[in-house]
Amino acid sequence: MGKMNIVQAVQEALRLEMERDGDVVVLGEDVGRDGGVFRVTEGLFERFGPERVIDTPLSEIGIVGAAVGMAAYGIKPVVEIQFMGFIYAGLEQIFSHASRIRSRSRGRFTCPLVVRAPYGIGIKAPELHSESSEAFFCHMPGVKVVVPSTPYNAKGLLTSAIRDPNPVVFLEPARLYRSIKGEVPDGEYSIPLGKASVYQEGVDFTVVAWGTMLHRAADAAEGFDCEIIDLMTLKPFDEETVLGSVKKTGRLVVVHEATMNLGLGAEVAALAAGEAIEYLKGPVIRVAGPEAVVPMARLEDDYMPGVERIKRAYEKVMRY
């Protein structure tokens, strides 16, 4: 057991899985000698060599597409995309191939790959380095989407993602990479995909959040007796835990960084409305990014839901 940040936790999960399974390879731009733009893969090149920690040309379509072929063949590729805004080139490979090869071949071929990418704002990066487009991936059947929020769950969730027989998009909150530290057990462990965790128990209302927003939602909760759920797996998400909590508290707030329109918050709200309307005392409230293109550094604090905005949502839901 030791304290580490998310960069170190992700790195440790990669190292342990690569030690455990000779078929796990890491590929991406600058992931080798340079250790990745966020240094997540630092040390892996030296430890496992150039055949398993592969520096690729600048080629998002090619990298993701090649990983589809590798995964179908039986190798386990863990792809790093440097920033979420650059994943868009690879979307067709994820949507038209990775997500459906199991279905199209009726189980003859599968695609157990992991695409890792930092997501979200808060690191004063250039344009298209701060996207939070998780909902795109959640919409596509056949893909799993995972977002860790702590060093502990980053390590356990990535371990599960690598072992999962389905394609997993693993989105790492860039803002949290080095800003929080937490206890992480030594050695390998896994946290099951598809299960949420109750971050904080409470009785008055339920808050659903993930990644960076989990911490904002928790900061805003001072003075409230609310239950905070860390969704962790966004697709397929743990409906049972969410509904159980909503039925207990009778109120629901969903917080996410992405723009509100068709964000995952809408799905969580619809679930509560569809399956637990008789328990709800008032409207489901979503706190989300504005309907605007993710801005550059000067406006990023304004874009991101802050503690004050979240607090106002808590106060509002408590009026019912």
Partner 1 sequence: MPIDTLDRFEVKYLRIIDENGTADPSVMPPLPDALLKNIFEKIVLARTFNQRAMSLQREGRIGTYASFYGQEAAQVGSALAIAEGDWVFPSFRESGVLIALGYPMRRLYSYWAGDERGMQAPPGLNVFPMSVPVGTQAPHGMGAAWAMKYRKEKKASITYFGDGGSSRGDFHEALNLAGVFKVPAIFFCQNNQWAISMPRQRQTAAKTIAQKAIGYGIEGMAVDGNDAVAVYKATTDALDRAKRGEGPTLIEAFTYRLDDHTTSDEASRYRPKEEVEAWRVKEPLIRLRLFMEKKGLWTREYEEGVGKAALDAVDREIEAYEGMAAPEPSDMFRYTYDELTARQKRELKEFGWER
When asked if residue 298 is in the footprint of partner 1 (CB under 8 A), the reply is no
- 182 DSSP assignment: E
For the segment 154-213, give every residue that binds partner 1 (CB under 8 A): 165-166, 194
State the angle between helix axes of 307-317 and 212-219 in degrees (0 to 180), rounded to the nearest 10.
60
Burial class (CB in 10 A: 0-12, 13-18, 19+), 244: middle
For the segment 32-61, give every residue that binds partner 1 (CB under 8 A): 51, 54, 56-57, 59, 61
Exactly one of 42, 188, 204, 239 binds partner 1 (CB under 8 A); which one? 239
When asked if residue 71 is in the footprint of partner 1 (CB under 8 A), the reply is yes
190 and 138 in contact (C-beta within 8 Å)?
no
When asked if residue 102 is in the footprint of partner 1 (CB under 8 A), the reply is yes
| Part in contact with partner 1 (CB under 8 A); list of ranges 6-14, 71-79, 114-122, 255-263 | 71-79
Q: Which is nearer to partner 1, 69 or 295 (CB)?
A: 69
| Part in contact with partner 1 (CB under 8 A); list of ranges 30-38, 85-93, 179-187, 283-291 | 85-93
Own/partner contacts of 22-25, CB < 8 Å, gap of 24 or more, are 23/74, 23/75, 23/76, 24/52, 24/76, 24/78, 24/162, 25/51, 25/52, 25/53, 25/54, 25/70, 25/75, 25/76, 25/77, 25/78
Q: Which is nearer to partner 1, 60 or 172 (CB)?
A: 60
Q: Is residue 215 annotated as part of the catalytic site, yes or no?
A: no
**Tokens representing residue 102 in the block:** 């199991």
Distance set, CA 123 to CA 28, 86, 107, 126, 304 (Å): 21, 16, 41, 9, 12
Provide the minimum distance between the beta carbon of 30 and partner 1 in the complex, in angstroms, as a whole number: 15
* Residues near partner 1 (CB under 8 A), total: 46
Exactly one of 30, 39, 75, 295 binds partner 1 (CB under 8 A); which one? 75
State the angle between helix axes of 264-276 and 239-249 in degrees (0 to 180), rounded to the nearest 10.
60
Provide the minimum distance between the beta carbon of 135 and partner 1 in the complex, in angstroms, as a whole number: 16
| Part in contact with partner 1 (CB under 8 A); list of ranges 37-45, 67-75, 207-215, 307-315 | 67-75
Q: Which is nearer to partner 1, 64 or 169 (CB)?
A: 64
Provide the minimum distance between the beta carbon of 165 and partner 1 in the complex, in angstroms, as a whole number: 4
Q: Which of 130, 320, 109, 148 is nearest to 234 (CA)?
A: 148
**Catalytic amino acids?**
129
Residues in touch with partner 1 (CB under 8 A): 25, 51, 54, 56-57, 59, 61-75, 77, 89, 92-93, 96-97, 101-110, 141-142, 144, 165-166, 194, 236, 239-240
